Amino acid sequence: MKISLYIIFNLFFFLNYPLKVKSIRNKIRYSSYLSENKFLEEESYEINSKFYNNIIELDSDYIITKISWIRRENYKYNYLLGVFEGANDPNFKDVIPIGIIKEKENEDLINYLKINTNNSYKYIRYIPPNKNSSDISPIKVYGYKIPETKKYSKERKYFHATNLPLISVYTENSTDIFEKSIEINCKILIVNEEGKLETNETAKIKVKDETRAYLSPKFPYSITFSSNQKVLGFKGEYRNWELISNYFDRSLLRNLIALKISELMKFEYTVRCKPIDIIINGNFKGNYYICDPIEVGYNRINISKKYENNLNDPNNIGGYLLEIDAEYYNGKKHFKSDKGIYSKIIYPKEDNITPEQENYIIEKFNKVEKEVYERNLDNIDLNTFSKQFLLKEFCGDLQHLYKNFYLTTNVNNEKFFFGPVWEFETAFDNDKILIPTNEKPSFCFDYYSSSGNMKDLITKLIRNKDLIEYIQNEWNYLCDTVLKESTLIDFIEEKRQYLKESAELNFLKWDNFAEEYDPYGFNWGTRDYLFGRKGENFDVSVDVIKDYIKKRFESLSYLINNANSLAN
């Protein structure tokens, strides 16, 4: 009799529960992690839903706890990195990722994807990793309903694919991003490491304006928000940001390490960047960095800007930012110096600079260039030049003088200052022209072409006895104080652990690394050095960097302390 009453009571309870229950055995227990770091048990049941194409429509909005699915026949492992998205608008105007398939599941049985978010959704859709195929069939959705009075009493927690922040980009009409010159309207959502939605803003996005952008299938991007945004704890609010792909760096660490060294060496400004994961239009793109662009601004390259009066007067521009760049033809105002060095004027910007200002900086560059050839270094800032030279040589930056060589000057100071440093994806023994860097009998810049005659200019510089002595003193000071092997190795190990989960997903996506990629018919040939070190996984590549650094202190010390023989 007691058993019968128990069964009747439970049937009455389930039939009156807000969710429509199809089977008692579908009941599960779900734990959602709350902001106050406590676990709260919630009842979770199969939700009544409609399926059409890859879209699931629920009978109301629910907090989703898991989705069951089964692989379709003949689609072996094609589902890996497939993304589930949630929305409350039937046209998915408020779409946001809610889950990703990370592992090879049970092929013959029903699989379950746990959804770790406490936001409620009425519509769910599945985006396959290959947009031309639908490789799985969603079967059931599980979740629970929260009473309206309690709906927003908890801190909202959003999905992120790994322990890193997640940036989701949704372009207008789901347009693919292929062009450098065409900006596409989009919405960008940024979820931080704690699962908090920090940014939900409109923006424009395009492929980053550099030649190497098209040498890999994993494009770097430039984004411009509609208004200034504070991003992931960076100081200051800015519209412009860059998303760096690190496709040729299997460690995903080389730029981070170089920028850490820049901080240790106390460069006036170090580019700020953070590792993130990116999803674009529901397609998981892997590990990226979100970074400052190389631009003038407070908390960026802080040089003086224009005064408000007579804009045609070149003396009313506080400062100039130049880049020595063999690829000078990629946008920006550019010029060829009297000695044949190609440079771009980054600031003042191309749409603001006047002919008078342009002539002023070209004449000034030619004047200082001529002085260097005459062994006069009065207008070269030895401190910033030495730091930049030492950092690039320590990191083994083959393209030291080819591009990404930045310098600044002000109208009230005749000197040129050097920095910041940027772009080390092929450094630290990641370029076959230099490998093994530590066995080379000369400085790195000797082994690669430069922007025009920039190599000849630098050779003139480092043959100056006073500059050699300055570089030697600076190097020995750094080694005695801040630039320690143990500091760098500890930093690398810390970042290895931090990036490990993201790296696993990144190389699920880009497992064809180092295969020849030439979709635009550039006919690059075999140029293997562009593709980093073939056959390495994440951990092996990190170990390569550690081994390089341990040897680099000795090999670079030898070159620097014997550089007196270069003086003439």
Q: Which one is predicted more confidently, 156 or 384? A: 384
Question: Which pLDDT score, from 0 to 100, does residue 77 have?
Answer: 64
- Name the least confident of 99-103, 305-309, 482-486: 305-309
- Name the least confident of 28-37, 193-202, 382-391, 468-477: 28-37
51 vs 101, 125, 143, CA distance in Å? 19, 10, 16
Q: What is the mean pLDDT of residues 168-172?
A: 96
Question: Which pLDDT score, from 0 to 100, does residue 369 have?
Answer: 96
Q: Is the pLDDT of residue 511 over 70?
A: yes
Question: Which pLDDT score, from 0 to 100, does residue 379 have?
Answer: 96
- Name the least confident of 42-46, 139-143, 553-557: 42-46
The pLDDT-based confidence of 240 (bands split at 50, 70, 90) is: very high
Total-model pTM: 0.87
Q: Is the pLDDT of residue 437 over 70?
A: yes
Question: Which pLDDT score, from 0 to 100, does residue 33 have?
Answer: 31
3-state secondary structure 427-447: CCCCCCCCCCHHHCCCCHHHH
Share of the chain above pLDDT 70, in %: 80
Tokens at residue 144, please?
Answer: 């629970």
Q: Is the pLDDT of residue 540 over 90?
A: yes
The pLDDT-based confidence of 16 (bands split at 50, 70, 90) is: very low
Longest dimension (CA), the chain: 108
77 vs 129, 140, 154, CA distance in Å? 10, 20, 37
Question: Which pLDDT score, from 0 to 100, does residue 529 have?
Answer: 43
Question: Which pLDDT score, from 0 to 100, does residue 566 have?
Answer: 60
Tokens at residue 306, please?
Answer: 């224009």
| SS3 assignment, position 278 | strand
| Closest by Cα among 342, 384, 392, 391 to 362 | 342
Q: Which amino acid is at 139?
A: I
Separation CA 505–CA 500 (nearest Å)? 9
Kindly provide the b/e burial profile for residues 12-50, where b requires at least 16 CB atoms within 10 angstroms of the residue's own CB.
eeeeeeebebeeeeeeeebebeeeeeeeeebebbbbebe
Backbone angles phi, psi at 199, to 5 degrees: -135, 135
Report the alpha-carbon angle 341-343-348, nearest 5.
Answer: 150
Separation CA 181–CA 174 (nearest Å)? 18
Separation CA 416–CA 546 (nearest Å)? 34
| SS3 assignment, position 557 | helix
Q: What is the mean pLDDT of residues 523-531?
A: 43
Q: Which amino acid is at 541?
A: S
The pLDDT-based confidence of 220 (bands split at 50, 70, 90) is: very high
Q: Is the pLDDT of residue 23 over 90?
A: no
Q: What is the mean pLDDT of residues 245-266?
A: 95
Question: Which pLDDT score, from 0 to 100, does residue 130 have?
Answer: 77
The pLDDT-based confidence of 227 (bands split at 50, 70, 90) is: very high
- Name the least confident of 14-23, 265-274, 353-362, 504-513: 14-23
Question: Which pLDDT score, from 0 to 100, does residue 114 have?
Answer: 93
Q: Is the pLDDT of residue 24 over 70?
A: no
Q: What is the mean pLDDT of residues 56-65?
A: 92
| SS3 assignment, position 406 | strand
Average pLDDT value over all residues in the chain? 83
Question: Which pLDDT score, from 0 to 100, does residue 37 have?
Answer: 32
Separation CA 368–CA 378 (nearest Å)? 9
* DSSP designation for 296: B
Q: What is the mean pLDDT of residues 103-113?
A: 79
Question: Which pLDDT score, from 0 to 100, does residue 488 have?
Answer: 98
Question: Which pLDDT score, from 0 to 100, does residue 211 have?
Answer: 61
